[in-house]
């Protein structure tokens, strides 16, 4: 079923397999088109942006397919980070955009043979860029290698409406009546108000408890939180 420029047919695991095959073919063809580049170590391939969110929720619709190849940095090669190939009638009658990024070697060496950790560490823990912010707005679905194929690496960022927010509060209160971690964090912040280091400890308890799925990709930076508190305290 089509509506305007988008299609709303649900994507299945079979569709992901076909997209993976197309992405691997593009990986091979890319180095064929650029023989001066040695075949950089391919870390992983992901389906990103609108099509990946559509895979989770078919009401989103697909305008095109954005497939990202992530490679390990080779300091002897000037890899074209903005390399981009577009296929007009790529899949299901919609264009495919193949895009590529090189991930610094220091990140890759920190998580050897762990494609998911390397990609998500790069996207979530390092210097923010416009591209990273755009990618993180939507879901990220693994296509390659096999250990991340079909895996939801990131669900995207959803800003709830007022109605959704209030409904979430009521659901939380119904299932988490004691709210222990919030009480502990509130006590610590009030107890050590005006002492940024101790306040950071209190807030850290809350953030690490409620957002453990996010922080599993890297250690929590208490120093950065303390610095933020100091800056806000001086405003």
State the pLDDT at residue 3.
Answer: 42
* Cβ–Cβ < 8 Å for 43, 72: yes
State the pLDDT at residue 63.
Answer: 95
State the pLDDT at residue 177.
Answer: 62
* Cβ–Cβ < 8 Å for 222, 126: no
- Which is more confident, 35 or 55? 55
* Cβ–Cβ < 8 Å for 23, 143: yes
- The rounded mean pLDDT for the chain is 89
85-112 pLDDT, tens digit per residue, is: 999 999 999 999 999 999 999 999 999 9
Q: Is the peptide bond before 149 cis (omega within 30 degrees of 0)?
A: no
Give the distance from CA 157 to its chain's centroid. Answer: 9
Centre a 10 Å sphere on the Cβ of residue 27 and count the other Cβ atoms it contains: 20
Phi-psi region of 125 (alpha: psi -120 to 50; beta: other; left: phi over 0): alpha
178-201 pLDDT, tens digit per residue, is: 577 788 888 888 999 999 999 999
Q: Is pLDDT at 2 greater than 50 in this prediction?
A: no
Q: What architecture (CATH level 2) is domain 2-154?
A: 2-Layer Sandwich (3.30)
How many whole angstroms separate alpha carbon 44 and alpha carbon 30? 15
State the pLDDT at residue 178.
Answer: 59
Helix (H, G, I), strand (E, B) or coil at 66: strand
CATH 3.30.460: which residues of the chain? 2-154
Q: Is pLDDT at 131 greater than 50 in this prediction?
A: yes
**Predicted model pTM:** 0.70
Q: For the ranges 38-42, 104-108, 161-165, which has the lowest average pLDDT? A: 38-42
């Amino acid at each position: 079923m089509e509506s305007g420029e988008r299609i709303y047919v649900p994507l299945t695991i079979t569709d992901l397999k076909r997209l993976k095959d197309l992405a691997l073919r593009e990986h091979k063809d890319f180095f064929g088109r650029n023989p001066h580049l040695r075949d950089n170590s391919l870390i992983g391939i992901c389906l990103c942006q609108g099509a990946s969110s559509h895979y989770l929720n078919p009401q989103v619709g697909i305008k095109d397919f954005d497939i990202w190849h992530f490679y390990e940095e080779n300091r002897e090669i000037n890899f074209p980070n903005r390399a981009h190939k577009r296929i007009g009638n790529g899949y299901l009658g919609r264009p495919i955009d193949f895009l590529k990024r090189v991930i610094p070697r220091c990140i890759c060496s920190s998580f050897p043979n762990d494609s998911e950790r390397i990609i998500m560490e790069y996207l979530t823990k390092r210097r923010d860029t416009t591209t990273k912010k755009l990618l993180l707005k939507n879901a990220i679905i693994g296509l390659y290698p096999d250990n991340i194929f079909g895996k939801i690496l990131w669900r995207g960022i959803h800003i709830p409406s007022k109605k959704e927010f209030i409904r979430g509060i009521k659901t939380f209160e119904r299932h988490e009546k004691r709210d222990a971690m919030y009480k502990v964090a509130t006590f610590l912040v009030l107890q050590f108000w005006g002492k940024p280091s101790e306040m950071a400890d209190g807030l850290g308890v809350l953030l690490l408890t409620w957002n453990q799925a996010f922080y599993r990709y890297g250690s929590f930076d208490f120093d950065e939180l303390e610095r933020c508190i100091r800056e806000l305290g001086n405003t």
